[in-house]
Structure 1
Amino acid sequence: MFNVLVVDDEKEIRDAIDIYLRGEGMKVYKAKDGIEALEVLDKEKVHLIVLDIMMPRMDGIKTCLKIREKRNLPIIMLSAKGEDSDKILGLNVGADDYIAKPFNHLELVARVKSQLRRYQNPLELEGDSPDIIGVKDLIINNKEKTVFLRGEEIKVTATEFKILQLLASNLGRVFSIKEIYEKVWEEPFYRSENTVTVHIRRIREKIEINTKDPEYIKVVWGVGYKIEREN
């Protein structure tokens, strides 16, 4: 059984999501703001968080940042605003996915299931998938789901790991944004360019010395992204 934490200051939304997810066999914890959410995380094992952005006391952005200091579990952000700026802000602070209110409950359930699937199961890669992938000073451990750069562990989210794993397991191959999204998020691509590019930018900020002249994740303009084979 998966445990999901729903964080929203509106009781009706918390209760509605609770009903949807319990109907799928999940256990649901609820919190009305970020402070309560952090208290639940200290006491209970949680596999995924549905997190509203606009909340009193501690909002979703601050809560996401606090969670990411210690945990890499999937986070789906909710917002009453459908603007790209809110979506990008949520993704930039460490969210794995984003849903705008009002949302379709079937879409919400599908997104939750997709995140849990990717969090629990290794990505089915097209190339070889050894336990350890080494590219220059970057080491990706597929078995332990860890990333090391020059001997030091780099903290990445589950989604960031999947993107790195995909590119590093297929060195030299260029993946389009659509391909990356559909392979990593495991759902059809629809106006999701920002979702992928924001995650790529976050990965680069963690592994590249110079993000404007990246050593690892290269862009092929008009085509997509790749990690080159070593010469």
Structure 2
Amino acid sequence: MNKVLIIDDDKELCALMKKCIEQENMSALIAYGGAEGLELVSEHDSAYSLIILDVMMPDIDGFQVLQKIRETSNVPVLMLTAKSDEEDKVAGLRMGADDYLTKPFSLNELMARVNSLIRRFTTLNPTSTIDINNLTLKNMVIDKENRIVSINAVPVDLTSKEFDLLYFLASNKGRVFTKKQIYTHVWAEEYAFDDNNIMSFISKLRKKIEPDPEHPFYILTVRGVGYRFNKEA
């Protein structure tokens, strides 16, 4: 059974969304704030088929919650906002949100988006298998526990940081990350890194994993923004 996590401080709206979701033969959990939501994600990080996430919450805003979720999970995230500001939507999508819904919205539209996102995640993505220790992608296997990467069953010699960088991007395939976000996640410290060094790491990694480094298949450049791992991989 598909399980949906709702993170929103509007208790009345949460009750309505939960009822609609359960009428579609899915289960729903509710967190009435960002901190509580992150606890539920941490406790059951692979249990959810979708997270519905409100932007404006009193303790931790939705963008911060999304950023923490994307450190460990590629679960689809549908963001809710009372604002119609295009910049907010673009920011959320660039940080890894899968879709956006502006309040007020109809419950029919909500459920249409919920079903679409879950269907795309669980049904239309059969070529890759993602679990906590291994990523099985097109022609590539990444063994997190043993820190081994193989392409067409041939091991690839990566440095420790190259492995971390590859695993981070591959485990969030299709998500666009800025150089700052990549550094913060992979180096796990305050951003104080020259963008040229990030580009150098990407270039070296491409030379080791790409069939044609001049025309990358796995790690794609998003001009003016950063990088993403090919969702078709």
In structure 2, the residue matched to 1:141 is: 137
Which runs of no fewer than 5 residues in structure 1 stay unpaired?
A: 132-138, 164-198, 220-226
The one-letter code sitting in structure 2 at the alignment partner of 1:82 is S
Aligned residues: 168
SS in 1 for 2:97: coil
CA distance in 1, matches of 2:123, 2:117: 10
Unaligned 5+ runs, structure 2: 129-134, 144-148, 183-197, 203-213, 223-229
1:87 maps to 89
Question: Do residues 209 (structure 1) and 222 (structure 2) align?
Answer: no
1:215 Cα shift? Answer: 4.9
- Structure 1 residue 218: Cα displacement: 7.5
Residues 8 and 33, structure 2, Cα contact 8 Å, conserved in 1: yes
Q: What SS is found at the alignment partner of 2:199?
A: coil
Q: Give 1:62's match in structure 2, choosing from 64, 72, 83.
A: 64
State the alpha-carbon separation in 2 of the partners of residues 110 and 40 from structure 1. Answer: 25
* Cα-to-partner distance string for 1:56-109 (whole Å, 9 max, x where unaligned): 111101111111111111111100011111101111222111111111211211
Contact 2:95-2:177 at 8 Å conserved across structures: no
Bigger drift between 98-107 and 144-153 goes to: 144-153
Summarize the Cα distance change of 1:49–1:18 in structure 2 as closer, same or farther, 3 Å threshold: same
Where do residues 1-231 of structure 1 align in structure 2 (5 Å cutoff)? Answer: 1-44=1-44, 45-123=47-125, 141-142=137-138, 151=158, 152=163, 153-156=166-169, 161=173, 202=176, 209=199, 215-216=215-216, 217=220
TM-score, with length taken from structure 2: 0.60
C-alpha displacement of 1:116:
1.1
- Give the TM-score of the pair, scaled to structure 1: 0.60
Report the residue type matching 1:155 in the other structure: F
Does the CA-based 8 Å contact 1:74-1:95 persist in structure 2? Answer: yes
Q: CA deviation at 1:121?
A: 2.3
Q: Could you tell me how far apart the structure 2 residues matched to 1:146 and 1:116 are? A: 25
Identify if the C-alpha distance between structure 1 residues 32 and 79 changes in structure 2 by more than 3 Å, giving closer, same or farther: same
Q: How far 1:36 moved relative to its partner?
A: 0.6
Q: Distance in 1 between matches of 2:142 and 2:123?
A: 14
Q: Give the superposed CA RMSD.
A: 3.7
Distance 1:24 1:84, change over 3 A: same
**Is the Cα–Cα contact under 8 Å of residues 94 and 177 in structure 2 kept in the other structure?**
no
State the alpha-carbon separation in 1 of the partners of residues 140 and 40 from structure 2.
26
Q: Given that residues 72 and 156 in structure 1 are in contact (C-alpha distance below 8 angstroms), is that contact kept between their aligned partners in structure 2?
A: no
Distance 1:154 1:5, change over 3 A: same
Percent identity, please: 33
SS of alignment partner, residue 209 of structure 1:
helix
Distance 1:116 1:144 in 2: 25
